[in-house]
Chains A and B, each alone.
Chain A
């Protein structure tokens, strides 16, 4: 008893960290509150799952109505959405755009960030500001000139069957890279500034070139922010709706998120099928998020708090 009292007064934070706090009323209220809130938050998604599992005939019209239990439950809406709407094709489109964009964004932004954070030169800060601000601009502000530019820039036939940057995968990749290196440069340069200068100074004395300092010293230390940025950028590029809507004309070249909007009018006249299609589209981002959750939060700490 005598031992326990000082421990108690030293504050609940010690208990918190151990996660073995005794059941106190306040704590129960908090748990219940958070559990209810979480369910409320997940509700639209869970309801979409529920709707997707039910056949159209059970819910529409006067059979049972959407707000009902019973009837049939199966995965037919998912398989229908998959086959009717040509889902594999659009997933491949997304992959063609997302994978190279991600790689290029990380390579290019790490190079700029390295230059900006490890060397002092005139205009250093201004350049960092240009990158950071560029990423914050609303996309619509760029679109008229960009659209005209894309129509004017010719590409050989094997690269784009439209013959221009417009309506090609290349154009989409290019704008994603150009736009997103702004954000990644900001995050990575903040991170690289935290790496001790002695690291590269020692290499410098040994006569390491700039490239070796970047490639062999700084880059291997950037795995954590890379993982976080890859998760974030994957979600953003995967979910992009605006660029794909404006810069790609042919329906069969659209990435999945923007293709779904087209399909909406074309095939899906029933809400059950819409629900299934939406959920199918969301799966890759959900998987990536849950797989990389830990790195992701850690990486955000780098980006958010050093800013």
Chain B
């Protein structure tokens, strides 16, 4: 009752304010509590288990700690871990290169292929449901399983390729070859994912603008280049982020195949090895994690600013 009698006073506050003020006045104390809990519980959980550890990783990266003994046994060494990583840690630069190869292959081969298939399937031919399922199936499998399934093809003396062609390439053992063999498997999975994202995007593009441009005499390629692709901009951003993040997160498949060693080093694996391995160098592992974090956040923040700016404007 009290809230409703106060309402007439609100409009005097000026143009932008009324909406928010009116909203908050209508809340009873109980409503505020309920809303607080609905927002608070998930937020606390998410921040405590995701953001807090991420921040603590940054702190830990400036120390040396074997994890035995309490937090007080951490020896603070400043940027020493970072210095060592860059100058005196052999697997680091190969891992960076492998992550870049991963990104390059997904970005230049996997993603365009996904877009290409999406365009073909968007034509809704007979049987496109089957084609779509076939291309998407690998996405449903975990990368760990993908690793097993491709072992059957790559394995040295029991694998399909060497048996079929009488070759003797050690696809998974040779450090010069194995990263590319693994990337074939990773791309196999990536293409379907991108395809579905684009397919969803294409379906939401207004068909009338496509028809309009074809009436105007544009070829199919021109229509795509000048009409459809620009309209796909939001999906393109999502796809770009997905591709970058996937290549930074890559882990399972190489870890399954050989623990991420001997030619399959990745940043994610180096972190895991330093933290769980016998050496248990928690500070050192955290420093690699922070490097990964900084790279990821650069992309994530760009993406978020891009996404939410439009929203804030509207």
Contact = CB atoms under 8 A, between A and B. Distances in A.
Interface of A: 10-11, 13, 16-17, 19, 27, 30-31, 33-35, 37-39, 41-42, 44-45, 47-48, 51, 59-60, 65-67, 108-109, 111-112, 114-116, 119-121, 125, 127-134, 136-149, 174-175, 177-179, 181-182, 185, 204, 209-211, 214, 235, 238-242, 245-246, 257-258, 260-261, 264, 271, 274-275, 277-278, 281-282, 285-286, 289-290, 293, 297, 300-301, 304-307
B125 A34 contact: yes
Contact of A128 (B57, B117, B290, B308): B308
A3 to B, nearest CB: 19
Given A137-B296, A181-B45, A307-B237, A38 B131 contact: yes
Contact of A34 (B51, B67, B131, B282): B131
B272 A143 contact: yes
A37 to B, nearest CB: 7
Given A11-B211, A143-B275, A282-B141, A305 B204 contact: yes
A147 to B, nearest CB: 7
B57 A145 contact: yes
B143 A241 contact: yes
B86 interface: no
21 contacts: A27-B125, A41-B138, A41-B188, A44-B152, A44-B153, A44-B185, A59-B158, A67-B160, A112-B39, A133-B297, A140-B268, A141-B296, A143-B272, A146-B49, A240-B142, A261-B256, A264-B256, A274-B152, A285-B141, A289-B140, A307-B307
Contacts of A305: 200-201, 204, 234-235
Contacts, number: 305
A82 B243 CA distance: 36
Interface of B: 19-20, 23-24, 26-28, 30-31, 34-35, 38-39, 41-43, 45-54, 56-57, 60, 67, 117, 120-121, 123-128, 130-131, 133-138, 140-145, 148-153, 155, 158-160, 163-164, 185, 188, 191-192, 196-197, 199-201, 203-204, 207, 210-211, 214-215, 234-235, 237-238, 241, 245, 248-249, 251-252, 255-256, 267-268, 271-272, 275-276, 282, 285-286, 289-290, 292-293, 296-297, 300-301, 303-304, 307-308, 311-312
